[in-house]
């Protein structure tokens, strides 16, 4: 494992060995079986290229009504619980005993991307955001708090973990593209990103 800091983002390269990547992939597959991935629609009516589901008390959702956290999947059910393997990573990299309240699961198929944005729908920004990458490589762009600020990019690979804390907690970031087929971890190819957040901070 190598740890580097880029634009205030802490990046743990090769944080997860292959056996943990496989365990995580299987645990996330079980979550997606209970709470199927959907193609979210932005408040502007655009269908996102990334498909999403979630685990934990809250899922992050978007539709014509806006971006927000919801205690329910679109089907009306509550979200599955966050897999232990995911919680272990959170506690290890943050050193916090407080657990995350949302485990957002993004799936990037061929051609999917995520525009530059801030994670700012939480009630509290006092806690770090942790993101875990699995499967195909993704080109991750990192900026600062200004939309048009200078950015730097890095290829995130399967098993890499990123922590956005302190000054980087509200920094712009996004995924410009993936290298479809660069990893064999996911049976149908593509990239999974797991994003862990404290939403209310109340516990």
List residues near ligand AKG by CB under 6 A: 104, 106, 114, 119, 131, 138, 140, 173, 175, 193, 195
Closest CA to 198 of 108, 110, 91, 65: 91
**Least distance in Å: CB of 193 to ligand AKG?**
3
Residue 73 binding result from Mn ion, ligand AKG, none, given CB thresholds of 5 to 8 Å by partner type: none
Only one residue has tokens 């899922």, namely 59
Closest CB to ligand AKG: residue number: 193
Dihedrals φ, ψ of 94, to 5°?
-95, -25
**Least distance in Å: CB of 162 to ligand AKG?**
7
**Least distance in Å: CB of 173 to Mn ion?**
6
**Least distance in Å: CB of 196 to Mn ion?**
11
Distance CA 40, CA 52 (A): 7
Residue 104 binding result from ligand AKG, Mn ion, none, given CB thresholds of 5 to 8 Å by partner type: ligand AKG
Q: Are 175 and 141 in contact (CB under 8 A)?
A: yes
Residue 31 binding result from Mn ion, ligand AKG, none, given CB thresholds of 5 to 8 Å by partner type: none
Collect all residues with Cβ–Cβ distance below 8 Å to 92 and sequence separation of at least 6. none
Residue 114 binding result from ligand AKG, Mn ion, none, given CB thresholds of 5 to 8 Å by partner type: ligand AKG
Distance CA 192, CA 194 (A): 7
Of 90 and 140, the one with the shorter C-beta distance to ligand AKG is 140
Distance CA 20, CA 146 (A): 36
Residues 95-154 that bind Mn ion (CB under 5 A): 119
Of 119 and 136, the one with the shorter C-beta distance to Mn ion is 119
**Least distance in Å: CB of 94 to ligand AKG?**
17
Distance CA 137, CA 140 (A): 9
Residues 25-84 that bind Mn ion (CB under 5 A): none
Cα–Cα distances in angstroms (integers) from residue 45 to residues 64, 67, 110, 182, in the given order: 6, 12, 22, 32
Give the residues lining the site for Mn ion (CB under 5 A): 119
């Amino acid at each position: 494992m190598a740890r580097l800091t880029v634009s205030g983002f802490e990046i743990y390269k090769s944080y997860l060995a292959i056996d943990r990547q496989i365990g995580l992939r299987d645990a996330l597959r079980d979550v997606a079986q209970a709470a199927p991935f959907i193609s979210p629609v932005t408040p502007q009516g655009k269908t996102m290229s990334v498909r999403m589901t979630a685990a934990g008390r809250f899922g992050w959702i978007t539709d014509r009504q806006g971006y927000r956290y919801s205690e329910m999947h679109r089907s009306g059910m509550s979200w599955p619980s966050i897999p232990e393997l995911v919680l272990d990573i959170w506690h290890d990299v943050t050193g916090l005993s407080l657990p995350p309240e949302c485990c957002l699961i993004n799936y990037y198929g061929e051609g999917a991307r995520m525009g530059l944005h801030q994670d700012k729908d939480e009630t509290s920004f006092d806690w770090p955001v942790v993101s875990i990458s699995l499967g195909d490589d993704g080109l991750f762009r990192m900026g600062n708090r200004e939309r048009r600020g200078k950015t730097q990019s890095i290829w995130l690979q399967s098993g890499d973990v990123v922590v956005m804390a302190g000054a980087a907690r509200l920094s712009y970031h996004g995924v410009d593209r993936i290298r479809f087929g660069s990893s064999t971890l996911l049976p149908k190819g593509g990239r999974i990103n797991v994003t862990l957040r404290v939403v209310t901070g109340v516990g």
